[in-house]
Amino acid sequence: MAHHTRIKVRGYHLDLFGHVNNARYLEFLEEARWSQFEEQGGLDWFLKSGLALAVVNINIDYRRPALMGEQLLIETGLKSIGNRSAVIHQRVLLEGADTVVAEADVTFVVFDAKQNKAVVLEGQLKDMLEQMTAGPV
C-alpha cells in the first residue's frame, strides 16, 4: 500500500498563471517522502546509521494544473530496488478524485558520508527500504 500525504495549495505556491509553479512540485514530493520516512520509522534508523538518501534523478510528468485551495493527495511507494540505487514512484492526485495532477519517478542512492560514496543496497538496509515503502503505488 502506498503512503499518503496531503498538501493544500496555498497562494505562495502559485505562479503568474494562477496555478502551482512547476518547481513547487519538487517540494511537494520531497515533503511526502520525508513524511513517509517519519511515519514509518525509517528516518530514525537512517539518522542513527550515518546514512542518507541522496536524490540523483527526478522525472516529472505534469498532467493538470493545481489551483489555489485544492487539496492534493500524494501517493508514495517503492517502484524498484537495484544494486546501488532505487526508484520511488509518486503520484499527485486531486483528493477525492481520480484526477492525476502529476507523476514522478525519483531515483536515489544511499550515501555514506564516512566512506564518501553510495553503498550497496543489501541486507538490513535493503530490508529497511522495502519495509518503509512496502507496496508499489
Residues taking part in catalysis: 15
Angle (CA) 109 111 117, round 5°: 105
Taking the C-alpha atoms of residue 62 and residue 46, their distance in angstroms, rounded to an integer, is 31
CA distances from 93 to 46, 75, 84, 115, 119 (A): 29, 8, 30, 39, 33
Residue 66, classed as helix, strand or coil, is coil
- Contact, 5 vs 102, CB < 8 A? no
- Contact, 42 vs 49, CB < 8 A? no
- Of 55, 65, 128, whose CA–CA distance to 85 is shortest? 55
